[in-house]
Structure 1
Amino acid sequence: MSKEIWKPGNMLYPLPVVMVSMRDKKGSPNIITVAWTGTVSTNPAMVYISVRPERYSYSIIKEAGEFAINLTTRELARATDFCGVKSGGSVDKFEALGLHACNGIHVKAPLIEESPINIECRTKQIIPCGSHDMFLAEVLAVHADNKYMDSKGKFDLSKAEPIVYSHGDYYTLGTKLGKFGYSVKKK
């Protein structure tokens, strides 16, 4: 076996890439792209996002204590990248990208209407982790766009064409290989 040895780093790729939306104390909306996010617990439903403290959005999320995670798609790929490289301190990203903000049920943070899934979150704890701080959050509500539901009322991920992030690049997800338990299912 021939493998290179690298310095310690994060090689858990691909990662989900999401747009996190929030509202500052003046009522102005903002969006930041986050690739360090994931599930923490099912019951209670909890997620996390990790954000660098020097990012413009960091203090807004910290002060508001809430945010929305918006899943990204092939259609939202350009907006996803834009929201990761442009600062909300200098541009209204909703306006610049032609995105539409809609209201959540439990949070003041705007939801991105064009996203197939919006997750309303309330911060429970902020954990300093080095270069990033982790916002551990309780999920208050999930909004799923009806156009991505199949005939059985299940969210059809393939219809949404979600994107992922891998080492500086964006990719769409490919072909379904199986479902949970398929490896041991009796034929």
Structure 2
Amino acid sequence: MVSGNSEPAKMQKAGFHTSKASTVDAPLIDELPVALECRLLKVNEDGNIIGQILNVSVDDTILNGEGQIDPELFHPISFDPANNIYRALGEKTGNAFWDGGRLK
């Protein structure tokens, strides 16, 4: 693992470029299609970070015809802290508020 504290060129070595966020004092990674600009509210005693989203930026290349994020174009990943791995997301598994209603 490489820390930005000991490797100042970490972002450049990874092939990333940054620009200044519009609402917070933090960089945005230009190559990533979604950015959430957040204000830190608190860190709980168990280490959970609580924040307030102040701005959301989405690149047009991952939007569908209705202006919504299309997971097939986005290819999101998520960190799985229980297994300390990253997981790919995106496969549709059901319809919210519809599939459960059919069980009645």
- Aligned position for 1:160: 74
CA contact (8 A) 2:16 2:31 kept: yes
Choose which of 18, 28, 40 in structure 2 pairs with 1:101: 18
The superposition leaves residues 77-135 of structure 1 with CA deviations (integer Å, 9 ceiling, x where unpaired) of xxxxxxxx211111132111110112211112001111121000111122221xxx232
CA contact (8 A) 2:4 2:10 kept: yes
**Aligned partners of 1:108, 1:174: CA distance in 2, in Å?**
31
Gap change, CA 1:120 and 1:96, over 3 Å in 2: same
Equivalenced residue count is 98
Structure 2 counterpart SS, 1:128 = coil
CA contact (8 A) 2:71 2:90 kept: no
**RMSD between superposed Cα atoms in Å:** 1.8
The superposition leaves residues 127-173 of structure 1 with CA deviations (integer Å, 9 ceiling, x where unpaired) of 221xxx23211110000111000000111122111123441433322
Gap change, CA 1:127 and 1:169, over 3 Å in 2: closer
Choose which of 71, 77, 88 in structure 1 pairs with 2:4: 88
**Aligned partners of 1:147, 1:123: CA distance in 2, in Å?**
29
**Unaligned stretches of 5+ in structure 2?**
none
Structure-to-structure mapping, 1:73-152, within 5 angstroms: 85-91=1-7, 92-129=9-46, 133-152=47-66
- Aligned position for 1:177: 93
103-112 vs 168-177, which deviates more? 168-177
Structure-to-structure mapping, 1:49-64, within 5 angstroms: none
One-letter code of the match for 2:71? L
One-letter code of the match for 1:120? E
Q: What percentage of aligned pairs have identical amino acids?
A: 29
Gap change, CA 1:152 and 1:102, over 3 Å in 2: same
One-letter code of the match for 1:96? K
| TM score, norm. by length of structure 1 | 0.48
Looking at both structures, which has the greater relative contact order when contacts are Cα pairs under 8 Å and sequence separation is at least 6? 1
**Aligned partners of 2:30, 2:4: CA distance in 1, in Å?**
19
**Aligned partners of 2:61, 2:12: CA distance in 1, in Å?**
24
